[in-house]
Structure 1
């Protein structure tokens, strides 16, 4: 049976000058774990028989009837240019195999979970937050994201829906969200244990935030290898710098056959 199929685009919406929200039909028999990614294919503008593929992390729960993605638009890049020409009702090529190991299986289910991301690297966490497993497995969940500017933070509605719907209301007091803006001097509107906090984040890089203790002070939590699980998604340089700093604190990379404290998304 072929693993390559076609799926219709249900919604394509521009959220910022470089971010598209894409909702497509979920192909029959396609299964995945929150945190995994799919391969999407688009025909080039001048050659309909040539498919350009891109790996995109799935941004919805595993039970969703449709598949949701946040797609970065890169001017001059073939996939981006092809996506710009496609609209709701267009067909997209889809690989029915799910990929990646950036899932909660990388950790023992206990302690505090720290979810760091840049930009559209939030996608795997939106999928995970849809599942009750994450809420039952960890004591505190802290979502910490870096954006160039406020216009890039297009996820507030999605984040709030993850922690205010149905069963998740009983876990709200254990969830925090901190957005950081790297190119603007502006306050960050944070959610700290279900309370709104407007604060100025002095440091702009995750490793500096951790080194200074600023982020731990805001959250009233500390990172330690005996109680903390860390996930890193987004910009490769951020992942490398933050991972290296965490390793200096004694945290180790988690492997499928050797569970530890750090997991990184690495399909770049």
Structure 2
């Protein structure tokens, strides 16, 4: 894949789509990759939002899907994290992109995985499975998040160790980040867990909550979720989001939105 010369050229922008150029591609394993594209000077987004991106479909028209933006709002490039689906209408093509290729980018980012949709709190937990990590990669590099919460926790559950994209960056507490390095060193916690291979932390996220593994001494506070102090974001598999939403509602958490901030949020555009 990576030795292919760039061939996706000559795309035409529309009223809703700009045409951007692929800057870099990283294949984490055989079914997971991330990539960066150029960012239009006029493109603005809130950390945690998603945008439509795509390539020409078989009929020549833009084939688009919603992707969370993984890069921080101040970055000069836009980064995305994607799975590889061999027969997926878009990902079968997208996984073959190389630097220099062109790609469609929507002009209107949106979403509910944003701090605007949450009430003030003390601890912010971001619970993710698979590529659901993407919006949280943007949020944890936003200086405003560290002003709003005393502890920021990212939990990433995957099947295999090689699925832990961006692991080195997260394990370093964002060392070297130009804007949040100092705050992250004191306030950020990364909790990776693997369900199908040996690793220092194993089991699904609900098991880590139940046995207390998720609530390390570094995080501080109660050894359980508390709607009075905790705010939670969910992104990943439909099953995880459904189960955790029910669990949190049972604890007294209320779902938030841009119109009415609450105690926890999900991205309904992804789960239907």
| TM-score of the aligned structures, taking structure 1 as reference length | 0.87
For the structure 1 residues 221 and 185, does the alpha-carbon distance in structure 2 shift closer, same or farther, using more than 3 Å as the test?
farther
Aligned to 1:77: 88
- State the partner residue of 1:101: 112
Residue 161 (structure 1) shift: 6.3
Q: Hey, what's the Cα distance between the residues in 2 that align with 1:164 and 1:140?
A: 19
4+ runs deviating over 6 angstroms:
none
- 1:142-189 Cα distance to aligned partner (Å, 9 max, x none): 11110101011121233236355345343222221111101113213x
Q: Determine if contact 1:234/1:265 at 8 Å carries over to the other structure.
A: no
Instruction: Answer 1 or 2: which has greater strand percent.
Output: 1
Unaligned runs of 5+ in 2: 1-13
* 1:148-187 equivalence runs, <5 A: 148-159=159-170, 160=172, 162=174, 164-171=176-183, 172-187=185-200
| 1:64 and 2:75 are equivalent in the alignment | yes
Q: Establish whether residue 265 from structure 1 lines up as the match of residue 271 from structure 2.
A: no
Following the alignment from structure 2 to structure 1, what is the Cα–Cα distance between the partners of residues 95 and 187? 40
For residues 66-108 of structure 1, the C-alpha deviation after alignment (integer angstroms, 9 at most, x for no partner) is 1011111111011112123432111111211112121011123
TM-score (norm 2): 0.86
Provide the secondary structure at the position in 1 that maps to 2:46.
coil
Please state if 1:42 is matched with 2:44: no
Q: Is the 8 A contact 1:16 1:154 kept in 2?
A: no
Q: Is the 8 A contact 1:27 1:96 kept in 2?
A: no
Unmatched runs of 5 consecutive residues or more in structure 1: 189-200
Compare the two structures and name the one with the higher helix fraction: 1
Change (3 A) 1:242 1:15: same
Alignment of 1:212-223 (within 5 A): 212-216=211-215, 219-222=219-222, 223=225
